[in-house]
Chain A
Amino acid sequence: MTQRKRLSNTQGRRSDPLEEDDSDLTFTQPSTSQVQRGLDKFTGSQMDQKAAEVIQYILVKDQKKIPVRRADLVKHVLKDYRYIYPEIMKRVLQTFDQVFGLKLVEIDTKNHLYILINKLEPQEGAAGPPNPKMGLLFVILSLIFMKRGAVKESECFQCLLYICGERHEQFGDVKKLVTDEFVRQRYLECVRIPHTEPVEFEFHWGQRAELEVSKAKILDFMGELHNQDPQTWSQQYKEAHAPPPAAPSTSQPNHSQR
């Protein structure tokens, strides 16, 4: 059983071990005068170069689907450029959008965690090998969605045992994949069920799943699987086709007026 650090301020959430150095540099949004001084100090091409480094850093982290911490970004990449953070991030966002078709989204406004999500819609039958892990994830997300948002850990594994066994030739330890990898990548969230003894957990959709996976598509898939009209699951249908909530905050700079 892997070690898990529990953050004291959460409601019994199983959280991933913090990847980077814990000594968080307190980083506050620079004031407009600090930004101006910074802008005077660096040339346009220097800033472009720094933006390129930030992009590389985020892409590498994103390959593993690990959320990026703003503190790490400042400590390891921005360094001297920290006071023009808003200006650099403006370029970074623009490049992600225009060159990669990706969007940097803040999923944790308290700890300033970011993930990259795809602006382009995932397509069926894409060229290149299909990803079996995503197939498995899709099954779990479907299970949770059809059960109206939460599935007990034990129930989830019963289901998966039936589908692919405990060890899979491609994913190895299935339990580990689900509880470690998918949770760390924010595709799933593992939440403690209160008043259970011994402690039991349930899975919810994680923030990345909420942003990247279409509930409507899941319902369509269910419909095909069971040869039913998706609308027969009226509650799920309503949820899947509800208007989207207000867009999550991105790392748009907000100059505080001082």
Chain B
Amino acid sequence: MPPHLGDSHRRFLQSMMSNSVMDEQQARALYQHCCDIHKAQCVPDKLDDFIETINSKLQPMFMQIRKGMSEDNGQQYYALVNMAETDVTRMSSDYADNELELFRKTMDLIVSSENGKVSSTDVLNVADTLTIKKLKKSEAEQVLNRLVQDKWLNEKRGEFSLSIKCIIEMEPYIRRMYEDQLKMCHICHNVAFQCQICDSPTCGIKIHNPCVARYFKGRVEPRCPACDEFWPYEIPEVRH
């Protein structure tokens, strides 16, 4: 029987609601802070249990605080997710219908891409094909900027990828929408967008960049964990 919710749990939940996504360090600090204010016991390393208690009460509302790994830095992030969300409607108060359509199409491009990234040119070309009121290229560019500002997309050197906020909060939508198209990481078994793919044509397993870094760390001759073929890619450094 999970323990009762106290004000420390409620305060934590409220913070998650207003802060959207936070990294592990912030989440730990918040946990400590909430326990301190309400004079509740804070057991270090029991953050996940604390969150589980909250989740047990959120479950009837199809809400959950979930964890996800950033494909950029391999760190864990926490976010509050509406598990019943079947569309990108949670963004509908901030974006017009055609802007949401552009976002969906951008996501389509990212999911079907090899490296989980899409160039701004590709997205702007798609702006022409919108079924709801079309967007001019300059308008589409504005939308992309806002999506980056609102932390739904990351931008690096003119290429866009899904942010950790998007990956965690939209997971139910992404899984439902793209089902079989999704690449899954062989190491951590989560959805992978930016990943390395085994060279062997009969294998083709995918591994997240940060998972590659951790798995192959220190190995002189990296080999595919599934088919044992030589892993030909540059092994990234483990980031802290």
Contacts and interface: CB of A to CB of B under 8 A. Distances in A.
Given A52-B60, A56-B61, A128-B22, A101 B90 contact: no
B11 interface: yes
A102 B30 CA distance: 19
A126 B15 CA distance: 9
Contacts of B57: 98-99
Contacts of B62: 52, 56
Nearest to A131: B18
B10 A129 contact: no
Contacts of B22: 128
Interface in B49-65: 57-58, 60-63
Contact of A128 (B26, B82, B84): B26
Contacts of B13: 99-101
A127 B11 contact: no
A126 B14 CA distance: 12
Interface residues of B, number: 26
Contacts of B88: none
A127 B7 contact: no
Nearest to B10: A101
B14 A100 contact: yes
> Taking each of B7, B10, B18, which has the highest tally of chain A beta carbons within 10 Å of its own beta carbon?
B10
Interface in B6-65: 7, 10-11, 13-15, 17-19, 22, 26, 29-30, 33, 37, 57-58, 60-63
Interface string A173-195: 00000000000000000000000
Interface of B: 5, 7, 10-11, 13-15, 17-19, 22, 26, 29-30, 33, 37, 57-58, 60-63, 82, 84, 90, 93
